[in-house]
Structure 1
């Protein structure tokens, strides 16, 4: 564990975790704090940021990070559809530029960061409907399914996985793979790490997870498979690559999905990094472990988008601790 990571954990334990100990969630305060604290990286040389928020751009509402003058679609063009985290009720493409920008440049591919509708104004399945519609729009615009990776962190990781399930069940062609950073896959908060890592996680308290879930779920049962993919049948999905920290309260949300995916015959690699905070790649370039994690993620994206279209994959037992 680097001193930079230790410093980030110390900061989050003092500034962020106390907010998750409160008995009620103040949605507007959460949105204001994250918008204020968001570090916005400089657009890399030869890359451009293109904001898409016009009424005619629905369902691709959000931000493109793309090479200047690069091809935007076509049979050989690859792309990442990114779903930001934030408990389904706060954060935005802007707050997550610190993970999207370096992932795009490392992978050498454009990324569309989706601005999906947020709870409690728009409860389940609004975010899922937006993500599915965005994926279908990319297909309609000329991107081949086997050249698309769906990715996300935290709630956005759960949303990315749920998007694959909804597409599979609807008979849509599936993407090349799915990249998940510390995904939130169990809104019922039944994972053992909710309790065992409570106090070890520098960002979240265990009880805060179920509290946040209610904002998104409304009257929807917490074990609905498209809200909590850990309860879904995962057969037929493309390769998955999951990164999680060993002290996260959401660690078992990753472990159980990985176990279920492999049991269903899905290629799945899970890396558990020691003492890393929730979605630590967001701290690039300041934390060395964030840079290394993004290198690993970009390697996965390049591999699956350059491989022959997956037909039947064999389950992978790969799980590493870093």
Structure 2
């Protein structure tokens, strides 16, 4: 059962954000509305910056010679325990490293490490594969010019950024680039073709989105590319050889099936994957870690996963484990081992 704080937050989100799409909702309207509602995080959600954490903007050159941007969040330490490449969500059309500081600041602090938050190009001004190209370039920049070892590097992302994280792993594998130690996905959007059942069954329960709106948004990023292209929608990609995945989703969100089906396909491909389904939380609830205990717990689980995979501690032997937060609601974890 969700905490009272999460229940209250869900009511606020539903009032402020959720709007049913209309037949007149063209691309420009969808983008404008998304940027108005999601492009700025309220001050009470943003975390204070700890004294030991330094944040600085960075520009780097892509393989094409263009400039890409992001921000480093570095904990003051002699030897960072881990580096996280963070890829924010926002439907590929909005948000930024600044909107996602609740996650990146908290991860850098918990890990006493470094987070590089990528500011990738957004649609519709820059459609597929611009965001993917930027994410691949950022990873290669970290490894090839910043001295980050792949076995101490994690990629993480939420929503669109969660899908983009998986697409980045697939593209890196195709290019023969050494893969990171693992990846973390919060409420990932992995099927821009919009075939998941929960786009319908959870359309009223989800406090942020309607399923029909998700389908409309997918076309904006894909452009002329088929939405089931495996690098647009990594649900349809060959997932063999990917590093361990930690996936989170809410039981009430419309993208639940995007996470569940990805975890199933990854497990079938021999990937070590853990799927945690939390009860009745808003989409990408770690963004609200200052307000709800579930957000803080999920980020603590993320930090534990990062420490495990960079230290190459083997995953649990059990294929199935369940941990109940109370006697009625279970958070289910699926673990498929190599």
TM-score of the superposed pair, with normalisation by structure 2: 0.87
Matches within 5 A, 1:237-256: 237-256=242-261
Aligned residue pairs total: 315
Deviations 1:196-246 (A, max 9, x none): 111000110010111001110100001000010001111000000001000
Matches within 5 A, 1:219-234: 219-234=224-239
Partners of 2:107 and 2:82 in 1: CA distance = 14
The alpha-carbon deviation at position 306 of structure 1 amounts to: 1.7
Q: Tell me the equivalent position of 1:93.
A: 97
Select 2:57's aligned residue among 32, 41, 51. Answer: 51
Select 2:212's aligned residue among 207, 214, 217. Answer: 207
Deviations 1:90-145 (A, max 9, x none): 00001000111112211222100000000000000000000000000011121111
Contact 1:262 / 1:316 at 8 angstroms: preserved in 2? no
Partners of 1:18 and 1:285 in 2: CA distance = 25
Q: Tell me the equivalent position of 1:4.
A: 5
Q: RMSD of the alignment, in Å?
A: 2.3
TM-score of the superposed pair, with normalisation by structure 1: 0.91
Select 1:112's aligned residue among 111, 116, 124. Answer: 116
Identify the structure with the greater strand proportion. 2
Partners of 2:318 and 2:162 in 1: CA distance = 20
* Gap change, CA 1:190 and 1:121, over 3 Å in 2: same
* Gap change, CA 1:83 and 1:33, over 3 Å in 2: same
**1:170 equivalent in alignment to 2:175:** yes
Extract structure 1 runs of 4+ deviating beyond 6 A. Answer: 54-58, 313-316
Contact 1:268 / 1:315 at 8 angstroms: preserved in 2? no
Partners of 1:99 and 1:35 in 2: CA distance = 15
* Gap change, CA 1:143 and 1:201, over 3 Å in 2: same
Matches within 5 A, 1:276-315: 276-307=281-312
**1:134 equivalent in alignment to 2:138:** yes
Partners of 1:242 and 1:216 in 2: CA distance = 23
Three-state SS of the structure 2 residue aligned to 1:82 is strand
Three-state SS of the structure 2 residue aligned to 1:111 is strand
**1:14 equivalent in alignment to 2:19:** no
Contact 1:60 / 1:137 at 8 angstroms: preserved in 2? no
Stretches of structure 2 that go unaligned for 5 or more consecutive residues are 323-329, 332-338
The alpha-carbon deviation at position 277 of structure 1 amounts to: 1.0
Partners of 1:37 and 1:67 in 2: CA distance = 23
* Gap change, CA 1:318 and 1:127, over 3 Å in 2: farther
Matches within 5 A, 1:75-90: 78-90=82-94
Partners of 1:119 and 1:242 in 2: CA distance = 25
Partners of 2:229 and 2:21 in 1: CA distance = 24
Contact 2:251 / 2:280 at 8 angstroms: preserved in 1? yes
Stretches of structure 1 that go unaligned for 5 or more consecutive residues are none
Q: Tell me the equivalent position of 2:129.
A: 125
Partners of 2:22 and 2:186 in 1: CA distance = 23
